[in-house]
Amino acid sequence: MEENSVRHILILGKHQYMVDNVQGILSKGGFEVNGFDQVEKIIEEYQATQLDMIVFTGAVNPSDYSELIQWKNEKFPSALIFEHHGGPATVLEEVQAKFSSAQ
């Protein structure tokens, strides 16, 4: 991946307000971000040709987690997975660190 390319991130969270919070922070950090509170919406609506990371925030239902991982593995096998537990203040730094450690 080119150094200056915008990275694409999907967020799945149990509560829309959490998804919105994390989405806003990551968008301001320079990422292209789409957030959802239902795995079905991701599978139906996500039409981008690039996906670099999926962020899980909050307590996501285990079956939703499994379904999204399976979808990711079929469509975007190289996309990273990041589970964010805690407040939104550190999410940008944590996501950046995850990308850095994967290089």
**pLDDT confidence bin for 1, thresholds 50/70/90:** very low
Average pLDDT over residues 46-72: 93
Q: What are the domain boundaries of the chain?
A: 8-102
**pLDDT confidence bin for 78, thresholds 50/70/90:** very high
What pTM does this model have?
0.91
Q: Are the C-beta atoms of residues 21 and 66 closer than 8 Å to each other? A: no
Task: Please check the confidence at residue 43 and state whether its pLDDT lies above 50.
Answer: yes
At residue 2, the pLDDT reads: 47
| Nearest residue to 88 via CA among 40, 27, 8, 34 | 27
Average pLDDT over residues 12-36: 94
Residue given tokens 């939703």 in the structure block? 64
Average pLDDT over residues 5-34: 94
Has domain 8-102 been given CATH number 3.40.50.2300? Answer: yes
At residue 77, the pLDDT reads: 97
Integer Cα distance of 69 and 31 in angstroms: 21
Task: Please check the confidence at residue 40 and state whether its pLDDT lies above 90.
Answer: yes
